[in-house]
Copies of this chain bind each other. A is one copy, B any other.
Amino acid sequence: VNARYLGLGSRFESGPSPLLVATGFRTESRQARYLHRGLGLADLAHVLALRDAGVLPDPAGSRLLGALVELADRGADELAYDPADGDAYNSREHMLQDRVGTDAGWLSLGRTRREAGRVAFYLAARDALLRLHETVAGFVGAAITRSLANLESWWADLTYWQPAQVSTFGHYLLSFAHEAARHLDRIEASWTRCGLVPVVAGGVAGTTVPVDRPAYLRRLGLGGAPTTSRDAMWSVDGLLDIGFVADHTAVTASRMAEDFLLFASAPFGYVRLHDAHCRASVYLPQKRNPYALTVVRGGTSVITGRVGGLVTSVRTASAQTDNWIYNYGEVLETVELAGQMTALMGEVLTEAEFDVRRMAERALDGFTEAADLAERLVSESGLDYRTAHSLVAATATAAERRGDTRLTAQDYQNLARQSGADLSPADARSLVLSRAHDGSAAPNEVHAAADRLRRHVIDRSRWRDKAGQAAAEAASRLVAEGRTASAHPVRTEGIQP
């Protein structure tokens, strides 16, 4: 262990303590599964840039490229990432050293381990964000689909779990679609900021190595607003953005899960989960537990904690590496978990049965037409609103004290008499249809809103496909370039061995 590690610095008389290996290095080394691919691309871009600049002579360069291409062709799990070596970067260096000896050292010319790590992380983060984008778009799509199928599913929308106002279940469902769709924008903003990476930045303040930095970034498919090497190296806001956007998406899924837990209870009985999302009990033979919903809610708690830890972690002084040791992994796992929670909730939503008959039967329970009725008293009898509201409230109170949960025909007659308005009992459908304006629960309006939203999501999905394709192409091109270059050593001048 120590011998290999010592090889790096030769400044130390002993290698790392086993406890340090079992904690810090193990944590960092485990991140190879996220960083392997990006480290490979970063290394290729680095070597090609040094070679273009005439700094790295052949055959050292071409041999190193050959080894890099070989590693790039393999998955992280096929390779010996070993905590005893340090982090993923160190392990790679050992792998390369085994293949090309001291030529591997060129990878550190003009570049710190942490620069390579940043590039790899942001490449991985971009991939993860695009996957999250796709998952969220899928959730939005599921909510739109089920909303459109429930445009005329009358129900009493709730506040504080109390019946509030007659509406449609389609209107209810679409509200989650809109909230989730806004996360697409957030994901894109975070994705864009992930383009901000240090390039041959030396320790932090730059280097004399004369590489073509714009070309370097193009090779990686990265780039963003110009900044300084210190900012690109040490700023933490990009990390926070990723954590925050993961929390945003999970919270939306969790809120729907929380609602559905209630709606799936026996007394409500509005939602029945698919068997594939339920769980039996080994003890209670009759149980059919909505397990998937607690998975979503609990996972969101975990995510919320992770993001809290992230904020605590980055709130240290600048240029401290604990921002990164843990957060490469923590952040990417958080995005992955947020995606899983969103996908699971989308699947539950797609497969659930809604008991729309039961919803409709109870749509007027709890006097949910009261506000509409007060409005009718105003418009038809010229009462002022306070008086109208009080009349209806008194009527509802009296009915409730009688033990009724709805207004009766007699209540309507009394109200008509008291107000002078021409009133007849309302049904859920006509109440909802009477509210014809942008954004309301009226089926036409929900339909229009859903259509608009679907077009928006298609639009954003096009962006995602394009971004993903560009990233994939850049990566392929880079590996191909490395492969070609490794096979064609050049005669280097300027720098002579």
Contact = CB atoms under 8 A, between A and B. Distances in A.
Interface in A317-373: 317-323, 325-327, 330, 340-341, 343-344, 347, 351, 362, 365-368, 370-372
A481 interface: no
Given A312-B315, A386-B102, A449-B226, A277 B204 contact: no
A202 B165 contact: yes
A85 B392 CA distance: 22
Contacts of A200: 437
A397 interface: yes
A288 B306 CA distance: 30
A371 B202 contact: yes
B340 A440 contact: no
A347 B248 CA distance: 34
A55 interface: yes
Given A20-B277, A193-B182, A11 B304 contact: no
Contact of A495 (B198, B199, B379, B390): B379
Nearest to A183: B237
Given A102-B387, A300-B315, A287 B162 contact: yes
Per DSSP, are chain A's interface residues mostly helix, strand or loop, or mixed?
helix
A203 interface: yes
Interface string A258-277: 11011011111100001111
A441 interface: yes
Contact of A20 (B106, B202, B276): B276
A203 to B, nearest CB: 3
A232 interface: yes
A240 interface: yes
B284 A301 contact: no
A215 interface: no
Query: Which of A301, A307, A314, A368 is packed against the most chain B CB atoms within 10 Å?
Result: A301
A33 to B, nearest CB: 15
A367 B226 CA distance: 30
Nearest to A390: B10
Contact of A247 (B112, B311, B439): B311
A175 interface: yes
A9 B285 CA distance: 7
B322 A312 contact: no
A201 B309 CA distance: 35
A161 B262 contact: yes
B161 A261 contact: yes
A171 B393 contact: no
Contact of A326 (B299, B309, B330): B299
Given A113-B281, A282-B108, A231 B178 contact: yes
A348 to B, nearest CB: 9
Given A105-B387, A175-B231, A207-B375, 11 more contacts: A23-B344, A24-B295, A107-B282, A157-B205, A160-B290, A161-B262, A161-B264, A165-B202, A175-B228, A182-B235, A262-B262
16 contacts: A8-B280, A12-B280, A19-B340, A19-B344, A110-B375, A157-B319, A159-B203, A161-B265, A182-B193, A205-B432, A206-B442, A213-B437, A213-B438, A259-B318, A285-B367, A308-B309
